[in-house]
Protein backbone atom coordinates (compact mmCIF):
# COMPACT_ATOMS: atom_id res chain seq x y z
CA UNK A 1 0.00 0.00 0.00
CA UNK A 2 1.24 3.54 -0.78
CA UNK A 3 0.24 7.06 0.23
CA UNK A 4 -0.95 8.84 -2.91
CA UNK A 5 -2.09 12.21 -1.56
CA UNK A 6 -2.77 14.11 1.63
CA UNK A 7 -4.49 17.37 2.47
CA UNK A 8 -5.23 19.65 5.39
CA UNK A 9 -8.89 20.50 5.99
CA UNK A 10 -9.44 23.74 7.92
CA UNK A 11 -12.92 24.50 9.22
CA UNK A 12 -14.72 26.44 11.94
CA UNK A 13 -18.05 24.86 12.93
CA UNK A 14 -18.39 26.92 16.12
CA UNK A 15 -14.61 26.78 16.61
CA UNK A 16 -11.55 26.05 14.47
CA UNK A 17 -10.47 22.49 13.70
CA UNK A 18 -7.58 21.26 11.56
CA UNK A 19 -7.88 17.76 10.08
CA UNK A 20 -5.30 15.84 8.08
CA UNK A 21 -6.66 13.44 5.47
CA UNK A 22 -4.25 10.88 3.97
CA UNK A 23 -5.24 8.94 0.81
CA UNK A 24 -3.81 5.62 -0.35
CA UNK A 25 -3.72 3.58 -3.54
CA UNK A 26 -5.94 1.00 -1.76
CA UNK A 27 -8.84 3.48 -1.84
CA UNK A 28 -8.65 3.78 1.96
CA UNK A 29 -8.12 7.13 3.64
CA UNK A 30 -7.24 8.04 7.20
CA UNK A 31 -8.02 11.10 9.34
CA UNK A 32 -5.86 12.74 11.97
CA UNK A 33 -6.67 15.67 14.26
CA UNK A 34 -4.14 18.54 13.99
CA UNK A 35 -5.93 21.17 16.07
CA UNK A 36 -3.78 23.38 18.30
CA UNK A 37 -6.05 25.96 19.90
CA UNK A 38 -5.19 29.50 18.81
CA UNK A 39 -2.22 28.35 16.69
CA UNK A 40 -4.14 26.28 14.11
CA UNK A 41 -2.62 27.66 10.92
CA UNK A 42 0.94 27.14 12.16
CA UNK A 43 0.28 23.39 12.23
CA UNK A 44 -1.57 23.49 8.89
CA UNK A 45 1.44 25.19 7.27
CA UNK A 46 3.92 22.80 8.90
CA UNK A 47 1.95 19.85 7.51
CA UNK A 48 1.39 21.33 4.04
CA UNK A 49 4.88 22.66 3.48
CA UNK A 50 7.11 20.14 5.23
CA UNK A 51 5.28 16.86 5.88
CA UNK A 52 2.81 16.09 3.10
CA UNK A 53 5.41 16.20 0.29
CA UNK A 54 7.57 13.74 2.28
CA UNK A 55 4.62 11.39 2.93
CA UNK A 56 3.77 10.72 -0.72
CA UNK A 57 4.90 7.25 -1.80
CA UNK A 58 5.47 5.90 1.71
CA UNK A 59 3.78 2.67 2.88
CA UNK A 60 1.17 3.90 5.43
CA UNK A 61 1.39 0.66 7.41
CA UNK A 62 4.91 1.54 8.60
CA UNK A 63 3.68 3.70 11.48
CA UNK A 64 6.82 3.23 13.59
CA UNK A 65 9.26 4.20 10.84
CA UNK A 66 7.16 7.14 9.65
CA UNK A 67 6.84 8.42 13.23
CA UNK A 68 10.63 8.40 13.59
CA UNK A 69 11.07 9.98 10.17
CA UNK A 70 9.11 13.05 11.36
CA UNK A 71 10.45 13.01 14.95
CA UNK A 72 14.01 11.68 15.11
CA UNK A 73 14.70 12.49 11.50
CA UNK A 74 13.96 16.18 12.05
CA UNK A 75 16.68 18.37 13.54
CA UNK A 76 14.20 20.81 15.18
CA UNK A 77 12.40 18.38 17.45
CA UNK A 78 9.54 18.68 19.91
CA UNK A 79 7.32 21.68 20.61
CA UNK A 80 3.56 21.94 20.26
CA UNK A 81 3.43 22.80 16.54
CA UNK A 82 5.83 20.06 15.41
CA UNK A 83 4.33 17.40 17.66
CA UNK A 84 0.72 18.23 16.70
CA UNK A 85 1.71 17.68 13.06
CA UNK A 86 3.46 14.39 13.95
CA UNK A 87 0.36 13.35 15.92
CA UNK A 88 -2.01 14.08 13.04
CA UNK A 89 0.09 11.97 10.66
CA UNK A 90 0.29 9.13 13.18
CA UNK A 91 -3.48 9.15 13.91
CA UNK A 92 -4.32 9.13 10.20
CA UNK A 93 -1.95 6.19 9.60
CA UNK A 94 -3.43 4.15 12.47
CA UNK A 95 -6.88 4.96 11.07
CA UNK A 96 -5.76 3.53 7.71
CA UNK A 97 -4.25 0.47 9.41
CA UNK A 98 -7.54 -0.30 11.18
CA UNK A 99 -9.57 0.21 8.00
CA UNK A 100 -7.16 -1.95 5.98
CA UNK A 101 -7.54 -4.77 8.53
CA UNK A 102 -11.28 -4.03 8.89
CA UNK A 103 -11.12 -3.75 12.67
CA UNK A 104 -11.60 -0.97 15.27
CA UNK A 105 -8.40 0.71 16.41
CA UNK A 106 -8.61 -0.74 19.94
CA UNK A 107 -8.03 -4.22 18.52
CA UNK A 108 -4.63 -3.09 17.23
CA UNK A 109 -3.68 -1.77 20.69
CA UNK A 110 -4.27 -4.94 22.67
CA UNK A 111 -8.04 -5.31 22.43
CA UNK A 112 -10.47 -4.24 25.12
CA UNK A 113 -9.34 -4.05 28.74
CA UNK A 114 -12.80 -2.71 29.66
CA UNK A 115 -16.19 -2.25 28.03
CA UNK A 116 -16.73 1.47 28.63
CA UNK A 117 -14.82 4.59 29.51
CA UNK A 118 -15.34 6.54 32.73
CA UNK A 119 -15.52 10.24 31.92
CA UNK A 120 -15.66 13.47 33.85
CA UNK A 121 -17.89 16.41 33.03
CA UNK A 122 -17.32 20.11 33.62
CA UNK A 123 -19.49 22.00 36.11
CA UNK A 124 -19.07 25.75 36.39
CA UNK A 125 -20.79 28.74 37.93
CA UNK A 126 -20.09 32.40 38.51
CA UNK A 127 -20.73 31.92 42.22
CA UNK A 128 -21.12 29.07 44.69
CA UNK A 129 -24.87 28.60 44.22
CA UNK A 130 -24.63 28.53 40.42
CA UNK A 131 -21.77 26.06 40.69
CA UNK A 132 -23.70 23.75 43.01
CA UNK A 133 -26.69 23.93 40.64
CA UNK A 134 -24.47 22.97 37.71
CA UNK A 135 -22.92 20.04 39.59
CA UNK A 136 -26.54 18.95 40.27
CA UNK A 137 -27.29 19.07 36.52
CA UNK A 138 -24.26 16.86 35.75
CA UNK A 139 -25.34 14.38 38.42
CA UNK A 140 -28.84 14.31 36.89
CA UNK A 141 -27.19 13.58 33.52
CA UNK A 142 -25.65 10.54 35.28
CA UNK A 143 -22.02 11.70 35.39
CA UNK A 144 -20.06 9.96 38.14
CA UNK A 145 -17.13 12.36 38.02
CA UNK A 146 -17.37 16.14 37.82
CA UNK A 147 -14.72 18.82 37.47
CA UNK A 148 -15.75 21.85 39.54
CA UNK A 149 -14.68 25.42 38.64
CA UNK A 150 -16.32 28.38 40.36
CA UNK A 151 -16.08 32.15 39.99
CA UNK A 152 -14.02 33.98 42.62
CA UNK A 153 -15.46 37.12 44.26
CA UNK A 154 -13.49 40.14 43.07
CA UNK A 155 -12.27 38.53 39.82
CA UNK A 156 -14.35 39.50 36.78
CA UNK A 157 -13.44 36.51 34.60
CA UNK A 158 -11.73 33.31 35.49
CA UNK A 159 -10.51 30.21 33.69
CA UNK A 160 -13.12 27.45 33.40
CA UNK A 161 -16.23 29.46 34.16
CA UNK A 162 -18.66 29.63 31.24
CA UNK A 163 -20.59 32.67 30.07
CA UNK A 164 -24.27 32.45 31.05
CA UNK A 165 -26.04 29.51 29.47
CA UNK A 166 -23.19 28.66 27.09
CA UNK A 167 -20.72 25.82 27.11
CA UNK A 168 -17.21 26.88 28.10
CA UNK A 169 -14.97 27.99 25.22
CA UNK A 170 -11.86 29.92 26.21
CA UNK A 171 -10.70 30.96 22.71
CA UNK A 172 -12.17 34.27 21.57
CA UNK A 173 -12.29 35.84 18.12
CA UNK A 174 -9.35 38.06 17.22
CA UNK A 175 -6.24 38.65 19.29
CA UNK A 176 -5.99 37.54 22.95
CA UNK A 177 -8.33 39.13 25.50
CA UNK A 178 -6.75 40.17 28.82
CA UNK A 179 -7.94 38.81 32.17
CA UNK A 180 -6.94 39.80 35.72
CA UNK A 181 -5.74 37.26 38.26
CA UNK A 182 -5.32 37.20 42.05
CA UNK A 183 -3.91 34.00 43.58
CA UNK A 184 -4.70 34.98 47.15
CA UNK A 185 -8.44 35.44 46.45
CA UNK A 186 -8.45 32.15 44.53
CA UNK A 187 -6.71 30.18 47.30
CA UNK A 188 -9.19 31.44 49.87
CA UNK A 189 -12.18 30.57 47.72
CA UNK A 190 -11.54 27.05 46.36
CA UNK A 191 -11.64 25.03 49.64
CA UNK A 192 -14.97 26.68 50.55
CA UNK A 193 -16.42 25.61 47.20
CA UNK A 194 -15.41 21.98 47.72
CA UNK A 195 -16.68 21.98 51.30
CA UNK A 196 -20.14 23.04 50.05
CA UNK A 197 -20.13 20.67 47.08
CA UNK A 198 -19.29 17.72 49.35
CA UNK A 199 -22.02 18.83 51.78
CA UNK A 200 -24.56 18.93 48.94
CA UNK A 201 -23.57 15.75 47.06
CA UNK A 202 -21.93 13.47 49.61
CA UNK A 203 -18.73 11.53 49.22
CA UNK A 204 -19.33 9.07 46.38
CA UNK A 205 -19.22 11.56 43.51
CA UNK A 206 -15.71 11.92 42.05
CA UNK A 207 -14.64 15.58 42.17
CA UNK A 208 -11.83 17.16 40.16
CA UNK A 209 -10.41 20.67 39.92
CA UNK A 210 -8.14 22.43 37.39
CA UNK A 211 -5.73 25.08 38.72
CA UNK A 212 -4.60 25.82 35.15
CA UNK A 213 -0.91 26.31 36.07
CA UNK A 214 -1.59 29.31 38.32
CA UNK A 215 0.19 28.55 41.60
CA UNK A 216 3.79 28.72 42.68
CA UNK A 217 4.99 25.42 44.18
CA UNK A 218 4.36 26.49 47.79
CA UNK A 219 0.93 27.95 46.93
CA UNK A 220 0.06 24.69 45.16
CA UNK A 221 1.17 22.75 48.25
CA UNK A 222 -1.14 24.88 50.43
CA UNK A 223 -4.06 24.35 48.06
CA UNK A 224 -3.54 20.58 47.73
CA UNK A 225 -3.30 20.29 51.53
CA UNK A 226 -6.38 22.41 52.18
CA UNK A 227 -8.40 20.24 49.75
CA UNK A 228 -7.49 16.95 51.46
CA UNK A 229 -10.73 16.72 53.52
CA UNK A 230 -12.72 16.68 50.23
CA UNK A 231 -10.56 13.86 48.75
CA UNK A 232 -10.43 14.97 45.15
CA UNK A 233 -10.07 12.45 42.32
CA UNK A 234 -7.36 14.86 41.15
CA UNK A 235 -6.01 18.37 41.31
CA UNK A 236 -4.92 19.35 37.81
CA UNK A 237 -1.96 21.48 36.67
CA UNK A 238 -1.37 22.96 40.14
CA UNK A 239 1.91 24.54 38.99
CA UNK A 240 3.25 25.68 35.66
CA UNK A 241 3.95 22.61 33.54
CA UNK A 242 7.54 23.40 32.63
CA UNK A 243 8.87 23.37 36.22
CA UNK A 244 9.08 19.66 37.00
CA UNK A 245 10.92 20.22 40.30
CA UNK A 246 7.98 22.31 41.55
CA UNK A 247 5.96 19.16 42.10
CA UNK A 248 8.46 17.84 44.69
CA UNK A 249 7.49 20.55 47.15
CA UNK A 250 3.79 19.86 46.66
CA UNK A 251 4.29 16.12 47.18
CA UNK A 252 6.10 16.68 50.48
CA UNK A 253 2.97 18.34 51.85
CA UNK A 254 -0.08 16.63 50.46
CA UNK A 255 -1.75 13.36 49.48
CA UNK A 256 -4.16 15.02 47.02
CA UNK A 257 -3.68 13.16 43.69
CA UNK A 258 -2.13 15.25 40.93
CA UNK A 259 -2.81 15.28 37.17
CA UNK A 260 -0.55 17.17 34.80
CA UNK A 261 0.49 17.33 31.18
CA UNK A 262 -2.16 18.69 28.81
CA UNK A 263 0.49 21.10 27.46
CA UNK A 264 3.21 18.45 27.16
CA UNK A 265 4.27 17.05 23.77
CA UNK A 266 6.78 14.26 24.42
CA UNK A 267 7.81 11.98 27.27
CA UNK A 268 10.87 14.20 27.74
CA UNK A 269 8.59 16.89 29.22
CA UNK A 270 7.85 14.71 32.24
CA UNK A 271 10.32 11.92 32.80
CA UNK A 272 11.14 13.29 36.29
CA UNK A 273 7.45 13.59 37.12
CA UNK A 274 6.98 9.93 36.25
CA UNK A 275 10.13 8.31 37.64
CA UNK A 276 9.96 10.30 40.90
CA UNK A 277 6.23 9.54 41.18
CA UNK A 278 5.38 13.23 41.53
CA UNK A 279 2.08 12.82 39.66
CA UNK A 280 -0.76 10.30 39.56
CA UNK A 281 -2.32 10.94 36.13
CA UNK A 282 -0.80 11.87 32.76
CA UNK A 283 -2.87 14.21 30.57
CA UNK A 284 -0.84 14.61 27.35
CA UNK A 285 -3.42 13.97 24.60
CA UNK A 286 -2.92 11.91 21.44
CA UNK A 287 -3.38 15.02 19.27
CA UNK A 288 -0.46 16.93 20.81
CA UNK A 289 1.64 14.12 22.24
CA UNK A 290 2.80 12.27 19.15
CA UNK A 291 -0.30 10.18 18.49
CA UNK A 292 -0.81 6.49 19.20
CA UNK A 293 2.80 5.51 18.50
CA UNK A 294 4.30 7.75 21.19
CA UNK A 295 1.49 7.55 23.76
CA UNK A 296 1.58 3.74 23.77
CA UNK A 297 5.16 3.97 25.00
CA UNK A 298 4.48 6.77 27.48
CA UNK A 299 1.45 4.96 28.95
CA UNK A 300 3.49 1.76 29.33
CA UNK A 301 6.34 3.71 30.98
CA UNK A 302 3.88 5.44 33.36
CA UNK A 303 2.22 2.13 34.24
CA UNK A 304 5.50 0.85 35.70
CA UNK A 305 5.26 3.71 38.23
CA UNK A 306 1.54 3.03 38.93
CA UNK A 307 0.56 6.22 37.15
CA UNK A 308 -2.71 6.25 35.20
CA UNK A 309 -4.01 8.18 32.21
CA UNK A 310 -6.56 10.98 32.22
CA UNK A 311 -6.39 12.42 28.73
CA UNK A 312 -7.18 16.00 27.88
CA UNK A 313 -10.55 16.07 26.12
CA UNK A 314 -11.60 19.71 25.83
CA UNK A 315 -13.82 20.83 22.94
CA UNK A 316 -10.83 22.42 21.22
CA UNK A 317 -9.66 18.91 20.29
CA UNK A 318 -11.68 17.47 17.41
CA UNK A 319 -13.96 14.39 17.44
CA UNK A 320 -11.17 12.51 15.63
CA UNK A 321 -8.97 12.93 18.72
CA UNK A 322 -11.79 12.04 21.10
CA UNK A 323 -12.65 8.83 19.22
CA UNK A 324 -8.96 7.86 19.04
CA UNK A 325 -8.68 8.52 22.79
CA UNK A 326 -11.64 6.23 23.50
CA UNK A 327 -9.99 3.39 21.54
CA UNK A 328 -6.77 3.98 23.46
CA UNK A 329 -8.58 4.23 26.82
CA UNK A 330 -10.40 0.95 26.12
CA UNK A 331 -7.18 -0.89 25.37
CA UNK A 332 -4.51 0.11 27.90
CA UNK A 333 -4.50 -1.37 31.38
CA UNK A 334 -3.57 1.82 33.29
CA UNK A 335 -6.51 3.90 32.06
CA UNK A 336 -7.84 6.23 34.78
CA UNK A 337 -10.48 8.59 33.41
CA UNK A 338 -11.24 10.57 30.23
CA UNK A 339 -12.17 14.25 30.08
CA UNK A 340 -15.42 14.69 28.16
CA UNK A 341 -16.85 18.01 27.03
CA UNK A 342 -19.56 17.37 24.43
CA UNK A 343 -18.97 19.31 21.19
CA UNK A 344 -21.64 21.77 20.04
CA UNK A 345 -24.21 20.19 17.67
CA UNK A 346 -22.87 22.13 14.69
CA UNK A 347 -19.57 20.22 15.01
CA UNK A 348 -21.45 17.03 14.18
CA UNK A 349 -22.65 18.49 10.88
CA UNK A 350 -19.01 18.24 9.79
CA UNK A 351 -17.69 15.30 11.82
CA UNK A 352 -19.72 12.06 11.81
CA UNK A 353 -19.05 10.39 15.14
CA UNK A 354 -19.05 6.77 16.33
CA UNK A 355 -19.20 7.26 20.12
CA UNK A 356 -21.98 8.03 22.57
CA UNK A 357 -22.35 8.97 26.22
CA UNK A 358 -24.39 6.64 28.40
CA UNK A 359 -24.77 6.65 32.20
CA UNK A 360 -21.45 8.26 33.07
CA UNK A 361 -19.41 6.40 30.43
CA UNK A 362 -18.43 6.76 26.77
CA UNK A 363 -18.91 3.87 24.38
CA UNK A 364 -17.72 3.43 20.81
CA UNK A 365 -19.09 1.29 17.98
CA UNK A 366 -17.19 -1.29 15.93
CA UNK A 367 -16.46 0.85 12.87
CA UNK A 368 -12.94 0.08 11.60
CA UNK A 369 -9.99 2.36 12.36
CA UNK A 370 -10.72 5.44 14.45
CA UNK A 371 -14.21 5.47 12.95
CA UNK A 372 -14.92 9.22 12.63
CA UNK A 373 -15.60 10.67 9.18
CA UNK A 374 -15.56 14.23 7.85
CA UNK A 375 -18.04 15.85 5.46
CA UNK A 376 -15.69 18.03 3.41
CA UNK A 377 -18.47 19.90 1.66
CA UNK A 378 -20.03 20.87 4.99
CA UNK A 379 -16.57 21.81 6.31
CA UNK A 380 -16.33 24.39 3.50
CA UNK A 381 -19.47 26.11 4.86
CA UNK A 382 -17.52 27.00 8.02
CA UNK A 383 -14.31 28.85 7.04
CA UNK A 384 -11.46 29.54 9.48
CA UNK A 385 -11.80 32.49 11.88
CA UNK A 386 -8.89 33.95 13.82
CA UNK A 387 -9.36 33.17 17.52
CA UNK A 388 -6.94 33.11 20.45
CA UNK A 389 -6.77 32.05 24.08
CA UNK A 390 -6.73 34.91 26.63
CA UNK A 391 -3.69 36.20 28.49
CA UNK A 392 -3.56 36.89 32.22
CA UNK A 393 -2.16 39.77 34.29
CA UNK A 394 -1.99 40.32 38.03
CA UNK A 395 -3.91 43.37 39.31
CA UNK A 396 -0.69 45.48 39.20
CA UNK A 397 -0.22 44.65 35.51
CA UNK A 398 2.41 41.89 35.78
CA UNK A 399 2.04 39.23 33.07
CA UNK A 400 1.03 35.90 34.57
CA UNK A 401 0.17 32.37 33.49
CA UNK A 402 -3.19 31.90 31.83
The residue count for binding ligand GCO (CB under 6 A) is: 10
Q: Least distance in Å: CB of 159 to ligand GCO?
A: 7
Q: What SS3 state is found at 355?
A: strand
| Cα four-point dihedral sign 214, 215, 221, 226 | negative
| CA nearest to 67, candidates 51, 80, 53, 56 | 51
Q: Which is nearer to Mg ion, 230 or 311 (CB)?
A: 311
| Residue in 37, 244, 308, 318 binding ligand GCO, rule: CB under 6 A | 37
Q: What SS3 state is found at 374?
A: strand
x/- mask, ligand GCO, residues 182-221, rule CB under 6 A, reads ----------------------------x-x---------
* Phi, psi angle pair for 195, to nearest 5°: -60, -45
Q: What SS3 state is found at 97?
A: helix
Q: Does 339 bind Mg ion (CB under 5 A)?
A: no
> Among Mg ion, ligand GCO, none, what does residue 314 contact (CB within 5–8 Å per kind)?
ligand GCO
Per-residue CA distances from 40 to 121, 185, 195, 319, 352 (Å) = 25, 34, 39, 16, 21
Of 29, 71, 159, 270, which residue is the catalytic one?
159
Q: State yes or no: is 159 an active-site residue.
A: yes
| Residue in 170, 336, 368, 371 binding ligand GCO, rule: CB under 6 A | 170
Q: Which residues contact 381 (CB under 8 A, 6 or more apart)?
A: none
Q: Least distance in Å: CB of 16 to ligand GCO?
A: 11
Q: Least distance in Å: CB of 40 to ligand GCO?
A: 11
Q: Which is nearer to Mg ion, 23 or 210 (CB)?
A: 210
Cite the DSSP H helix spans in 267-371.
Answer: 271-275, 291-304, 319-331, 347-350
Q: Least distance in Å: CB of 314 to ligand GCO?
A: 4
Residues annotated catalytic, as ranges: 159, 212
The binding site for ligand GCO (CB under 6 A) comprises 37, 170, 210, 212, 262, 312, 314, 316, 339, 389
Amino acid sequence: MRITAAKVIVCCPGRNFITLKIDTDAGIYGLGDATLNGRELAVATYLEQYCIPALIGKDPRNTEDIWHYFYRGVYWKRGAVTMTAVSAIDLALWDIKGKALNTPLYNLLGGKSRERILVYAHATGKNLQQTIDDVGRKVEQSFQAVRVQSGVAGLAKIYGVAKDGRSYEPAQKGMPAEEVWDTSKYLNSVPQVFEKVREAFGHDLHLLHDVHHRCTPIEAARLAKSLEPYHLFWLEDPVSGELQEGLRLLRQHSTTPIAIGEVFNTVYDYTALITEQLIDYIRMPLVHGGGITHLLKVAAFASIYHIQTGFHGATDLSPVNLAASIHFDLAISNFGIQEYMPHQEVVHEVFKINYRFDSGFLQINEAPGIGVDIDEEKARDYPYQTACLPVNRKADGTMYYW
